[in-house]
Amino acid sequence: MRFIPSEVEEALKSLQKIPGYGERGAQRFFYALLKLPPRERLSIVKVLAEAVKKLNPCKECGIYTDKDICDICTCPGRSKKLLTVVEESDDAYAIERLGRYKGVYHILGGRISPLEGISAEDLTINKLLERIEKYKTYEVILATNPNTEGEATASYLAHLLRRKFPDLKITRLGFGAAFGTYLDLLDEFSLSTALENRKKF
């Protein structure tokens, strides 16, 4: 006789397939969801199902989009010569919410992290080099997170880009005193100031 519903086992096993989630993360998500009224649970799952069905990385910049090429990449008013490199789509959305950035993005898909076994080869760096070459980019803004791994990734990229494109302007967001945090956690004022006060790398 089975005492634990197979649905519980299956759900937890599925959630654990999400990288970085683990057993605890899966349990927290699943039981918090179950505690909601049935109609609310179902509506969340429906929204998630639609999102995962429709969203894929933009073939150009890697930001999550419901099209082949995202609206930012296809917008005639956005300059491909100004390119902001971020770790994840969330970071680009955070800058996008400021409503004043007129360039395009490049999503790395993470950061160099020896602890998590993520190296430069796991990121979309080759694609970044291709895009800089193709669009004759004038400035690359390194907007990886203001924490140890984000700084190390920015520094790695700066050295690589300087070697490959000696004339390229390479800048880093001016985070000021903010360190040990994530770009998408900054309030709009701080992020806006960081963009404004970007420094030559």
Residues of this chain that bind Zn ion (CB under 5 A): 58, 60-61, 70, 73
Q: Which is nearer to Zn ion, 60 or 149 (CB)?
A: 60
* Helix (H) or strand (E) segment spanning residue 163: helix 148-164
Q: Which is nearer to Zn ion, 83 or 173 (CB)?
A: 83
DSSP class of 21: T
176 φ, ψ to 5°?
65, -130
Please, what is the minimum distance in Å from the beta carbon of residue 52 to Zn ion? Answer: 19
d(Cα 44, Cα 61) in Å, to the nearest integer? 28
Pick from 81, 173, 83: which is nearest to 125 by CA?
Answer: 83
Q: Which is nearer to Zn ion, 78 or 169 (CB)?
A: 78
Strands (E), the chain: 56-57, 64-65, 79-86, 103-107, 139-142, 169-172, 199-200
Q: Which is nearer to Zn ion, 60 or 184 (CB)?
A: 60
Please, what is the minimum distance in Å from the beta carbon of residue 79 to Zn ion? Answer: 13
Please, what is the minimum distance in Å from the beta carbon of residue 129 to Zn ion? Answer: 17
Please, what is the minimum distance in Å from the beta carbon of residue 64 to Zn ion? Answer: 10
